[in-house]
Amino acid sequence: MQTPAVKIVILRITFIIGMVELFIMLLLGHLYHDLDSFKQAILDAVLLVVMSTPKIYLWVIRPYVLARDEAVAKITYMAFHDPLTQLANRNLLSQYLEKILPTLDRHQLYGALLMIDLDDFKPINDISGHDVGDSILLEVAIRLQASIRSEDIAGRLGGDEFVVILSLLNADKQAARNEALSIAGRIQAALKEPIEHRETYQLSGSIGIRMLGDEMASIETVLKEADIAMYRAKQAGKGNMVVFE
């Protein structure tokens, strides 16, 4: 069964060939009426190919290829980005970790993974509604992006849980740790700024920090240990940060 797109392609090609062939027949009848039928057929075929091919490409093939490439790019983007915040999703974060962990080991540098969970977000979502909750998550995503360096990556795992991966911090572990804490502090300060949406909302974030570069740990291990540190930060009170030891 032909789809509407296929029918449109067939109709366009048929129209182009029909119009070009009509033009050629009129041209041959007016200018080359004294040619024998064989020569007319050869000339007709050559002119049809030469004149119709560019039109078929511009009007049929090129739009189809552009639409296909756009659809593929959109599907690829959706596969690696959170649909709400447009931040990296778990797939892209895992790919990034797969690349950065060997790089840190090879260059003897340190990085860090920050697991961020919003404090008391659920009551806001439940009481004010999901549209307000989504708006707050969007604002959090913007603030995260503004708080990190251009070489770092921010992502959302789902709900109110976010991840930031800090790459190539420092060759000295303590200095790298201090840089990670500084960026985490900047993130916390940004999250504590009031969010205006119909009314004023005040948030904070609990951050678990897992340093990268000591060993070639698996991605699952890194995420799990950052998650452990984040829960320790939550247990210590709102707006705290804990480095996994």
Within 13 Å, how many C-alpha atoms sit on residue 32's CB side?
15
More confident residue, 210 or 16: 210
Residue type, 9: V
Q: Which of 8-17, 26-35, 92-101, 213-222 has the highest mean pLDDT?
A: 92-101
Cα–Cα nearest to 113, from 179, 167, 176: 167
The model's pTM is: 0.77
The domain boundary, picked from 79, 103, 119, lies at: 79
Same domain, 38 and 105: no
Residue 84 lies in a domain: no
Residue 181 pLDDT > 90: yes
3-class DSSP string for the chain: CCCHHHHHHHHHHHHHHHHHHHHHHHHHHHHCCCCCHHHHHHHHHHHHHHHHHHHHHHHHHHHHHHHHHHHHHHHHHHHHECCCCCCECHHHHHHHHHHHHHHHHHHCCEEEEEEEEECCHHHHHHHHCHHHHHHHHHHHHHHHHHHCCCCCEEEEEECCEEEEEEEEEECCHHHHHHHHHHHHHHHHHHHHCCEEECEEECCCEEEEEEEECCCCCCHHHHHHHHHHHHHHHHHCCCCCEEECC
| pLDDT number for residue 84 | 93
Same domain, residue pair 114 and 212: yes
Contact criterion met (CB below 8 Å) for 65 and 30: no
**Res 227: pLDDT:** 94
Residues 213 and 153 in one domain: yes
- Please write the tens of the pLDDT for every residue from 118-171: 998 888 888 878 888 899 999 999 999 999 998 899 999 988 999 999 988 999
Q: What is the pLDDT of residue 32?
A: 64
Map tokens 């990670």 to a residue. Answer: 180
How does pLDDT run across 8-60, given as a tens digit for each residue?
888 888 888 888 888 888 887 777 667 777 777 888 888 888 888 888 888 88
- Pair (21, 135) in one structural domain: no
Do residue 126 and residue 165 come from a single domain? yes
- The CATH number of the domain holding residue 126 is 3.30.70.270
> What distance in Å separates the CA atoms of residue 170 and residue 110, rounded to the nearest whole number?
6
pLDDT recorded at residue 1 = 57
Give the number of domains in the chain.
2
Return d(Cα 75, Cα 72) in angstroms, integer.
5
pLDDT more than 70, % of the chain: 98
Catalytic sites, residue numbers: 160
Structural domain ending residue among the three candidates 79, 112, 138: 79
Look at residue 85 and tell me if it is in a domain.
no
Domain region containing 40: 4-79
pLDDT at 100 over 70: yes
The reply to whether 48 and 155 lie within a common domain is no
Q: How far apart are CA 22 and CA 7, in angstroms?
A: 22
